[in-house]
Amino acid sequence: MCMLSTKATCNSHGQDSSYFLGWQEYEKNPFHEVNNTNGIIQMGLAENQLCFDILKSWLAKNPDAAGFKRNGESIFGELALFQDYHGIPEFKKALAEFMSEIRGNKVSFDPNHLVLAAGATSANETLMFCLAEPGEAFLLPTPYYPGFDRDLKWRTGVEIVPIQCTSSNGFQITETALQEAYQEAQKRNLRVKGVLVTNPSNPLGTTMTRNELNMLVSFVEDKGIHLVSDEIYSGTAFSTPSFVSVMEILKERECDENGSDVWNRVHVVYSLSKDLGLPGFRVGAIYSNDDRVVSAATKMSSFGLVSSQTQYLLAAMLSDKKLTKNYISENHKRLRQRQKKLVSGLQKAGISCLKGNAGLFCWVDMRHLLRSNTFEAEMELWKKIVYEVRLNISPGSSCHCTEPGWFRVCFANMSEDTLDLALQRLKAFVTEYYNIPEVNGHHQTIHLNHSRRRSLTKWVFRLSFDDRSPIPGR
């Protein structure tokens, strides 16, 4: 008889995905600019380290905030003792205003409708607990963040049904794909409770169009279901087209004024992990117009609170409008420059990307480097890049992409010198193994010939988890 619960022994966490396994390989041999220059460079982690200097400078100039003082007097005891799980009002107000500022103040957020959570992971799971029963389903467009298999499903029992998107239109959601996913859920006897999207998209690095957002709102309105918009990358939209929040769409459609039920069935998830680069602070939030969702989520938040010390510090930081204005502008500038550098470097290696305007990564097209148009070939290429090139990137199959050969490559979690080294390694790899000709300093994007494809099958891989490669579509 098993002495553990089914939850403890089930295999639905997703930890054996290549997305997480790549991290494990990196941790065995991590690159360091001084101590381990031959190690694996981490390009599978979407962290934003480009503007740490701005935050550090502010902290140096505002010692009271970091020292838990108010007007020079210590408030350590006040912060160390019990705090209501509704959150510190000053922080919720500052966070709501920051969310509005990121969106160009085109929409406003009521702090009373914000629920704090220990990061977006906790926020998304809490919403699933509020909106769906075990065995009910949410529709998600592919490719999607691999962690959703854990965040949305593992403890809640909620099912994910993919909305199949393809490169033919830049992976945009179509009405046909939406309807097909809905019908697929019905075939599986799953009651659909909603649609969840990431905007800007992780892993695509693109913002959703107004047409897509309007289509989604119309779809959930027609079906009588929920729409969850995960907008944790909203402050990373660094070039045109600009980011449009689903809340802006609701405002344009006058959903509140005309009494539409959809007003209470659209919910936003936010976090400071990506825009401010503070994943270690564990600050997430749910925004909902439904008082019942806010009430239930607030009660559930007691299982994943944001510390009072963190709230106090960030309340002071986000209330400084001079800081936030400068940070948002400079963050966009540095992300734009860094993304341009990655795209340019990949082009020199004969590799192209989906045109992106947001996020901390690029959706990179390596289909022409596959020995065959299969996910097995994608895994072969990925393993070669991890072990021989010593770069950890995320294969598209881990993101449930329907087309082999796409990879997510992060660019904001390392120094410029480290990115240069990563691009040098990749270019050398393409030159050595694929014999792609160089014209005017750029490798030309061509498809592999059959002899080269045959030679790739002779690779010897040392990974111990070959038999656990993710199955496309799961």
* Active site residue ranges: 145, 230, 232, 274
Which among 14, 23, 108 is positioned nearest to 408, based on CA atoms?
A: 23
Six-digit token pair at 285?
A: 């939030």
SS3 473: coil
Q: How far apart are CA 408 and CA 401, in angstroms?
A: 11
Q: What's the length of the chain?
A: 474
Asked if residues 265 and 290 have their Cβ atoms less than 8 Å apart, the reply is yes
First to last CA, the chain: 30
Q: How far apart are CA 390 and CA 428, in angstroms?
A: 12
Q: How far apart are CA 210 and CA 193, in angstroms?
A: 23
Spatial neighbors of 313 by CB under 8 A, at least 6 apart, are 65, 66, 68
Separation in Å, CA 243 to CA 160, 201, 211, 325: 26, 11, 13, 17
Q: What does the longest C-alpha to C-alpha distance in the chain come to?
A: 74
Spatial neighbors of 390 by CB under 8 A, at least 6 apart, are 29, 31, 38, 39, 40, 41, 425
Q: How far apart are CA 56 and CA 41, in angstroms?
A: 25
